[in-house]
Amino acid sequence: MAVKDEIEARLSAAFAPERLEVVNESHRHSGHSGDDGSGESHFKILIRAAAFAPMNRVARHRAVHQALGDLNARVHAIALDIA
């Protein structure tokens, strides 16, 4: 399964988001440090879910990190926009 699909599957299962956009931005970082040549090194995630409402920023990010599990270590960078 592509990393993008795995991210979507895990976040959908964990938060039942109203809106979820996962963008593979790896091509924009081609040749930078962190580009491992896999084409799956950098991702941008926009997620909107009611589950985040009671959480502060740090807690929201921690919740997403936890849901992503081993994916955190498998990609170089994930930019998160959570609300």
Partner 1 sequence: MSAAEQIKETVEKNDVVLFMKGTKMMPQCGFSSRVAGVLNFMGIEYQDVNVLADAEIRQGIKDFSDWPTIPQLYVKGEFVGGCDIVTEMTLSGELDQLLEAKGVAFDKAAAEKIREANA
Q: What residue ranges bind partner 1 (CB under 8 A)?
A: 29, 32-34, 57-58, 61-62, 65, 72-73, 77-81
Decide: residue 60, CB within 10 A, 0-12 exposed, 13-18 middle, 19+ buried.
buried
Decide: residue 42, CB within 10 A, 0-12 exposed, 13-18 middle, 19+ buried.
buried
The nearer residue to partner 1, 53 or 73, going by C-beta atoms, is 73
Residue 50 Cβ vs partner 1, minimum distance, rounded to whole Å: 19
Residue 62 Cβ vs partner 1, minimum distance, rounded to whole Å: 7
The nearer residue to partner 1, 27 or 32, going by C-beta atoms, is 32
The nearer residue to partner 1, 27 or 62, going by C-beta atoms, is 62
d(CA 75, CA 65): 12
Residue 46 Cβ vs partner 1, minimum distance, rounded to whole Å: 11
Q: Are strands 42-48 and 77-82 parallel, antiparallel or unpaired?
A: parallel
